[in-house]
């Protein structure tokens, strides 16, 4: 063992602590360890640590003490109560508190340590990364404390945060700062863990294959780190404990305690806290937090857990294999709004002949300026095309465009036999099925492709949208070249998804995506508003939380727009998300699936509309706390 390594004491050998202590031993540290649970202590002793009979024994004769206990009460008891650790620690030793505890609590601990006059340092050092990374020394750790405290503990930090996966971030020189960052981090983590449970339960209850939905959403706006990391636990858990439900419930409880103390309204976090409390009350206390999806089984929902191996279930979750029937013919593009205009433009760039039509002359002028042809009468234009792309706001608008006010004078009446209609709007699955039924009554072989999109105007302009297309194999084959131009032109072949099950299933997948996207937007606004209310630097908070387990597509895309001093360009109006989430909640009600977080997000979006932000960019959700002096603009 290298003589330059400090002697380490370690107290707390749970799923995280045992891995961390064992990792230090494997890297040559001399570690004295203690835990109240003998089997945990024995396991770490087998790895090479020296077992201690008491906390005080573990803290005697060491330079760095690692604390990985459950909560603030245990920290207090170990240091100043029955554990007597502060009493026996040597002068100049550093304590690393890895536990997630209230920031104000650690400030008090620092004051009590200073009062002893022993120059004992304290590093406020919450961790993230899970038990697997704890055992390999690849954690993400945020720390704050005096430079001398951090310097004494630095060899331990370096050993536990090995690159390239691990990372140490020093966020300041005052105890409490790092816990502030962890608190905000857990706002996003807790809500996004709960949201993946809610979303995957909805997918199952709507009759979708949850693994298929999981695979698809990873390239869509509903994605988050926690969705990608936790859903596999629900689908096919390997039986190895990872992250206890009780821990995330404790963490979100700390968030809500702090919010109440500071008079900060945090409705999405509040619902998340109640969800985890309900899960524990429903008998899931010994489950990992990712298995919160099991709560919906208690309401009569379908079990999410798969029965086969991962390989077998991946085979079942395969998308349709579609072969393009050839180059796209002439396309009529109806709806040149915030999404439709750049989508039509991307088709032009791909070499597709496009005729654009919209009720707005200004919108058609903008498309014409891009080199596109326009038609003021879409019905007349429909006679010369074999493909129509519809990007309307609502299903009623799509129905009016296809069938006219009298049900027989719309675009469909003029389309040639066997034409294909690609509906890219977000509509209820039942509405997509209804439209195909109306087309069938015309006996012209007209086929609808239910193809909602995700990605926003910026990605639509480059042909980089995620598309969830469902319909007959024949229709999908005919429309494949158009769908590819809208989704894979920028080089991402994984953007285009062919959903089995026929018309309506694309909209079901989109419903799950929109549920997640709206929840993630709502918690992004809430979390950063809370950080600002606490006086934290928003740019630093964003830099820290957006690169780890708290990250989501909506955070990365919307929060920079929340920070803009000027009014954000309207990429997606708040009213659009209200419409989308209303559809989702109606679908959930049809299959008896309560959406607790979805409803909370809808209430926030509705409140934004009531505050005059309905026609603003949906990032304006971050303005909901301005009436209490919280402004997110940098």
DSSP string, 418-465: T-EEEE-S---HHHHHHHHHHHHTTTS--EEEE--EESHHHHHHTT--
- Rounded Cα distance, 219 and 221, in Å: 7
- Rounded Cα distance, 281 and 367, in Å: 57
CB 142 within 8 A of CB 117: no
- Rounded Cα distance, 470 and 491, in Å: 22
Q: What pLDDT was estimated at residue 570?
A: 83
Q: Look-up: residue for tokens 């330059």? A: 4
CB 320 within 8 A of CB 500: yes
* Residue 3's pLDDT band (cuts 50, 70, 90): low
Q: pLDDT digits over 215-243, tens only? A: 999 988 999 999 999 999 999 999 887 88
- Rounded Cα distance, 529 and 520, in Å: 14
Q: pLDDT digits over 151-202, tens only? A: 999 999 999 999 998 999 999 999 999 999 999 999 999 999 999 999 999 9
CB 72 within 8 A of CB 105: yes
- Three-class DSSP labels, 235-260: HHCCCCCCCEHHHHHHHHHHHHHHHH
Marked catalytic residue, from 32, 118, 174, 182: 182
Positive/negative CA dihedral, 536, 259, 111, 113:
negative
Q: pLDDT digits over 588-629, tens only? A: 999 999 999 999 999 999 999 999 999 999 999 999 999 999
Beta bridge partners of 331: 354, 387
Q: What pLDDT was estimated at residue 549?
A: 87
pTM of the model: 0.89
Per the structure block, which two tokens stand in for 182?
């962890």
Please report, for the chain, the start and end positions of each structural domain, with discontinuous segments joined by +. Answer: 8-175, 183-311+510-622, 331-499
Q: Provide the H-helix boundaries in 280-360.
A: 310-316, 340-349
User: 121 pLDDT exceeds 90?
Assistant: yes
Q: What pLDDT was estimated at residue 457?
A: 86
User: 567 pLDDT exceeds 80?
Assistant: no
Q: Which of 342, 565, 579, 559 has its CA nearest to residue 465? A: 342
Q: pLDDT digits over 358-376, tens only? A: 999 999 999 999 999 999 9
* The Cα angle at residue 525 between residues 522 and 526, in degrees rounded to 5: 85
- Give the H/E segment covering residue 633: none
- Rounded Cα distance, 398 and 334, in Å: 9
Average pLDDT of the chain is: 95
CB 389 within 8 A of CB 415: no
DSSP single-letter state for residue 122: E
Per the structure block, which two tokens stand in for 515?
């549920």
Q: What pLDDT was estimated at residue 456?
A: 83
By CB atoms closer than 10 A (0-12, 13-18, 19+), residue 613 is buried
Per the structure block, which two tokens stand in for 305?
């857990």
Given 3.30.160.20, 3.40.50.720, 3.30.450.40, 3.90.1150.10, which CATH number is that of 8-175?
Answer: 3.40.50.720
Comparing 8-175 with 331-499, is the CATH topology the same? yes
Q: How far is CA 243 from the centre of its chain?
A: 17
Q: What pLDDT was estimated at residue 572?
A: 86
Say what percent of the chain tops pLDDT 70. 99
Angle between helices 505-533 and 574-590 (to 10 degrees): 120
- Give the H/E segment covering residue 354: strand 354-357
User: 130 pLDDT exceeds 80?
Assistant: no
Q: What pLDDT was estimated at residue 240?
A: 82
Q: How far is CA 415 from CA 78, 164, 544, in A?
A: 78, 57, 54
- Rounded Cα distance, 171 and 306, in Å: 42
- Give the H/E segment covering residue 281: none
Q: What pLDDT was estimated at residue 533?
A: 97
| The CATH number of the domain covering residues in 331-499 | 3.40.50.720
DSSP string, 180-196: HHHHHHHHHHHHHHHHH
Positive/negative CA dihedral, 512, 513, 517, 523:
positive
Q: What pLDDT was estimated at residue 57?
A: 98
Q: pLDDT digits over 260-313, tens only? A: 999 999 999 999 999 999 999 999 999 999 999 999 999 999 999 999 999 999
- Three-class DSSP labels, 560-575: HHHHCCCCCCCCCEHH
User: 118 pLDDT exceeds 70?
Assistant: yes
Q: pLDDT digits over 27-39, tens only? A: 999 999 999 999 9
By DSSP bridging, strand 8-11 and strand 31-34 are parallel
Please give the backbone phi and psi of residue 422, each rounded to the nearest 5 degrees, phi first: -100, 110
| The CATH number of the domain covering residues in 183-311+510-622 | 1.10.1040.10
- Three-class DSSP labels, 361-411: HHHHHHHHHCCCEECCCHHHHHCCCCEEEECCCCHHHHHHHHHCCCCCCCH
- Rounded Cα distance, 463 and 476, in Å: 18
By CB atoms closer than 10 A (0-12, 13-18, 19+), residue 2 is exposed
Q: What pLDDT was estimated at residue 553?
A: 95
32 an active-site residue? no
Q: Look-up: residue for tokens 């702090």? A: 258
Q: What pLDDT was estimated at residue 2?
A: 46
**What is the Rg, in whole angstroms, of the alpha carbon atoms belonging to the chain?**
28
């Amino acid at each position: 063992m290298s003589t330059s390594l400090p002697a380490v004491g370690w107290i707390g050998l749970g799923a995280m602590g045992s891995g961390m202590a064992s990792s230090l031993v494997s890297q040559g540290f001399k570690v004295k360890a203690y835990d109240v649970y003998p089997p945990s202590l024995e396991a770490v002793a087998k790895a090479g640590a020296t077992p201690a009979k008491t906390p005080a024994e573990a803290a005697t004769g060491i330079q760095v003490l690692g604390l990985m206990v459950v909560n603030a009460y245990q920290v207090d008891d170990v240091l100043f109560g029955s554990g007597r650790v502060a009493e026996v620690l040597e002068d100049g030793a550093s304590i690393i508190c890895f536990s997630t505890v209230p920031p104000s609590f650690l400030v008090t601990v620092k004051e009590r340590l200073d009062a002893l006059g022993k120059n004992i340092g304290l590093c406020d050092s919450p961790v993230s990364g899970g038990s697997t990374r704890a055992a390999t020394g690849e954690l993400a750790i945020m720390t704050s404390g005096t430079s001398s405290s951090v310097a004494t503990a630095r060899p331990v930090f370096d050993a536990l945060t090995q690159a390239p996966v691990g990372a140490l971030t020093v966020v300041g020189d005052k105890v409490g700062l790092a816990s502030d960052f962890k608190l905000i981090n857990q706002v996003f983590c807790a809500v996004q863990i709960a949201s993946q449970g809610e979303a995957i339960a909805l997918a199952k209850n709507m009759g979708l294959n949850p693994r298929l939905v999981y695979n698809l959403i990873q390239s869509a706006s509903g994605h988050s780190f926690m969705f990608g990391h936790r859903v596999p636990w629900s689908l096919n858990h390997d039986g190895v404990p990872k992250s206890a439900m009780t821990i995330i419930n404790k963490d979100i409880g700390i968030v809500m305690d702090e919010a109440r103390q500071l008079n900060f309204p945090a409705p999405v976090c509040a619902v998340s806290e109640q969800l985890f409390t309900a899960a524990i009350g429903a008998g899931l206390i010994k489950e990992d937090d990712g298995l919160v999806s099991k709560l919906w089984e208690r309401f009569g929902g379908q079990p999410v857990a798969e029965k086969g191996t991962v390989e077998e279930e991946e085979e079942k979750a395969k998308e349709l294999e579609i072969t393009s029937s050839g180059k796209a013919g002439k396309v009529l593009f109806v709806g040149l709004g915030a999404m439709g205009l750049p989508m039509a433009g991307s088709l032009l760039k791909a070499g597709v002949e496009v005729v654009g039509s919209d009720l707005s002359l200004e919108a058609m002028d903008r498309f014409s300026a891009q080199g596109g042809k326009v038609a003021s009468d879409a019905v007349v234009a429909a006679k010369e095309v074999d493909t129509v792309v519809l990007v309307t706001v609502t299903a009623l608008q799509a129905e009016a465009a296809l069938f006219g006010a009298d049900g027989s004078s719309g675009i469909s009446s003029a389309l040639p036999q066997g034409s294909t209609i690609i509906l890219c709007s977000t509509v209820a699955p039942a509405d997509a099925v209804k439209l195909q039924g109306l087309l069938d009554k015309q006996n012209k072989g007209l086929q609808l492709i239910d193809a909602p999109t995700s990605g926003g105007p910026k990605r639509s302009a480059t042909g980089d949208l995620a598309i969830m297309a469902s319909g007959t194999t024949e229709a999908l084959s005919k429309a494949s070249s158009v769908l590819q131009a809208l989704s894979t032109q920028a080089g991402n072949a994984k953007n285009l998804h062919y959903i089995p099950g026929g018309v309506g299933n694309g909209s079901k997948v989109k419903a799950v995506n929109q549920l997640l996207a709206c929840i993630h937007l709502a918690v992004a606004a809430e979390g950063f508003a809370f950080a600002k209310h606490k006086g934290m630097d928003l740019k630093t908070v964003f830099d820290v939380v957006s690169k780890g387990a708290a990250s989501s597509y909506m955070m990365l895309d919307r929060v920079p727009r929340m920070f803009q001093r000027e009014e954000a360009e309207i990429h997606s109006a708040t009213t659009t998300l209200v419409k989308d989430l209303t559809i989702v909640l109606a679908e959930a009600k049809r299959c008896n699936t309560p959406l607790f977080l979805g409803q909370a997000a809808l209430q926030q979006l509705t409140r934004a509309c009531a505050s005059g932000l309905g026609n603003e960019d949906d990032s304006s959700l971050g303005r909901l706390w301005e009436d209490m002096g919280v402004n997110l603009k940098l």
